[in-house]
Amino acid sequence: MARVVVVSNRVAVPNRDGTRAGGLEVVIGSYLKRNQGIWFGWSGRTVAKGEEVTRKVEHAGVTYITTDLLRADFQEYYNGFANRMLWPILHYRLDLAEFSSRDMAGYLRVNELFADRLKPFLKPDDVLWVHDYHLLPLGKALRERGVENKIGFFLHIPFPPPDMLTCLPKHERTILSLCHYDLVGFQTNNDADNLADYLSHECRMPSRDRRTFIAGSRTLRIGVFPVGVEMAEFERLARRTKRTAVVREVLNSLSERSMIIGVDRLDYSKGLGLRVRAFEQFLGTYPRWRGAVTYLQITPRSRSEIREYADMERRIDETVGRVNGRYGEASWTPIRYVNRPYSRTTLAGLYRSSRAALVTPLRDGMNLVAKEYIAAQDPEDPGVLILSRFAGAAVECQAALLVNPYDQEAVAAAIDQALSMPLDERCGRHSALVKVLSENDIKDWGPRFVAALTNPAEAKRWSRRASG
């Protein structure tokens, strides 16, 4: 079997930076743990000119190669173009996008630099798998350096319709560069259709069918590969950790109250402000739950150096404070809001101890928290998932309580419905969800993508399955 070289902005080098939050590292780590290969990306260090180092570490059969970035490059590539332009546009937030041609130049430059530093490690029959919006043009940069290997790309976040993509200035430089890959994978059919529409309507690119385009001498295939979670392992973990001291301490502190849980990075795509207001509305409209339920929102801060994130942090702090001031009592705090990361193990135990989960992003590529919550439940007494219809996970999680996160009244009603739901309905919904999610366990995700990349017939088969 060919060696797989995974490339992503961040590399989770073992034993380096402790607890992390972020779906991408969790899923790539899980793939490489089983399939070995190389993981290449940024070292997490920014340095002055002349101090850049590329390091290689071997651990449990995986080779981790990381490279430093210059401070200015990092600023333009990561904080600038990737997170102030691509992230908002790809999450349908044109209002938050800030374009600067300088940032775009930095973004293209870092992609070329990644190509330069990666190329010496490549062997002719390696298969390359590039991840996420930081590296859209990496395939093109590698092709320009004569790399003819199979190269696939997977986008973990949403991909909007052409009307939004074309708001990105010079979109051909970034979006159209996807044509240099052999296979581009998305979380949902909706995302895949949006690329197909962009290529056929905006770029008039010839195609063989809805998922196969002819880009000069190259054929680009588009596929759907929804990211999943390790269902059985997560259930076992949750069962074990519900008994640990940390989780027991949280449960004791609730004094028999029901718990609702939310776990998200602090990001505007997660809809936290609207969610807290929906919870406020729930307490106002359904007063019988006052004093009987506690909402625990675990939200590690992210990207605080970007202004929109710092502003959002402040607004959410204020809203939580207002709700607690308005409805709280000396003996009861309605919302517990914590900004630190927790270990995966503790999260699993907390999910299992919660009567409901509020997962209400305004837009999300997949949302692993939703799937982890389902995996963690006790099948004999499961909690209820309240899930935004705009999360990629909603395609598979039709048996959850699906909500429109912009409709606070509907979210408030869903919280009431979740807390009042009889056991047989909870069990019915839960087993339906477990059945669907177990068919798409994360163990199969990487091999499925790599097989599709190396064997085109596979891509079609999986796309048909994912479209249900």
The span of 20-28, 183-191, 427-435, 444-452 binding ligand ADP (CB under 6 A) equals 20-28
Report the distance separating Cα 151 and Cα 123, nearest Å.
13
Q: 91 an active-site residue?
A: no
Q: 424 an active-site residue?
A: no
Given 134, 156, 180, 430, which residue is catalytic?
156
Burial of 243 (0-12, 13-18, 19+ CB in 10 A): exposed
Question: With contact defined as beta carbons under 8 Å apart, do 323 and 282 qualify?
Answer: no
Residue whose CB is nearest to ligand ADP in the complex, by number: 23
Query: Which amino acid, one-letter code, is at 425?
Result: E
Closest approach of ligand ADP to the CB of residue 454, in Å: 27
Q: Residues 6 or more apart from 407 whose CB is under 8 A from it?
A: none
Q: Which is nearer to ligand ADP, 115 or 229 (CB)?
A: 229
Binding string to ligand ADP for residues 120 to 159, with x set by CB under 6 A, is what? ----------------------------------------
Report the distance separating Cα 78 and Cα 81, nearest Å.
6
Q: Which is nearer to ligand ADP, 248 or 301 (CB)?
A: 301
Closest approach of ligand ADP to the CB of residue 344, in Å: 6
Sequence length of the chain is 468
367 lies in the binding site for ligand ADP (CB under 6 A)? yes
Report the distance separating Cα 29 and Cα 35, nearest Å.
10
Question: Binding residue for ligand ADP (CB under 6 A) from 90, 108, 263, 385?
Answer: 263
Tell which positions 294-353 bind ligand ADP, by CB under 6 A. Answer: 298, 300, 341-342, 347
Paired strand residues for 317: none
Backbone phi, then psi, for 301, in 5-degree steps? -70, 150
List the beta strands (DSSP E) in 155-283.
183-186, 207-209, 212-215, 218-224, 258-263
Give the DSSP H/E element, type plus range, for residue 68: strand 62-70
Report the distance separating Cα 179 and Cα 119, nearest Å.
20
Among the listed residues 154, 156, 175, the one whose alpha carbon sits nearest the alpha carbon of residue 165: 175
Q: Which is nearer to ligand ADP, 127 or 368 (CB)?
A: 368
Given 193, 267, 364, 430, which residue is catalytic?
364
The span of 124-132, 218-226, 361-369, 437-445 binding ligand ADP (CB under 6 A) equals 361-369
385 lies in the binding site for ligand ADP (CB under 6 A)? no
Question: Binding residue for ligand ADP (CB under 6 A) from 32, 89, 272, 366?
Answer: 366
Question: Binding residue for ligand ADP (CB under 6 A) from 369, 403, 421, 442?
Answer: 369
Closest approach of ligand ADP to the CB of residue 35, in Å: 19
Question: With contact defined as beta carbons under 8 Å apart, do 81 and 104 qualify?
Answer: yes
Question: With contact defined as beta carbons under 8 Å apart, do 451 and 458 qualify?
Answer: yes
Among the listed residues 449, 297, 279, the one whose alpha carbon sits nearest the alpha carbon of residue 369: 297
Closest approach of ligand ADP to the CB of residue 131, in Å: 12
397 lies in the binding site for ligand ADP (CB under 6 A)? no
Positions in the binding site for ligand ADP (CB under 6 A): 19, 21-24, 26, 263, 265, 298, 300, 341-342, 347, 366-369, 372
The catalytic site residues sit at: 156, 364
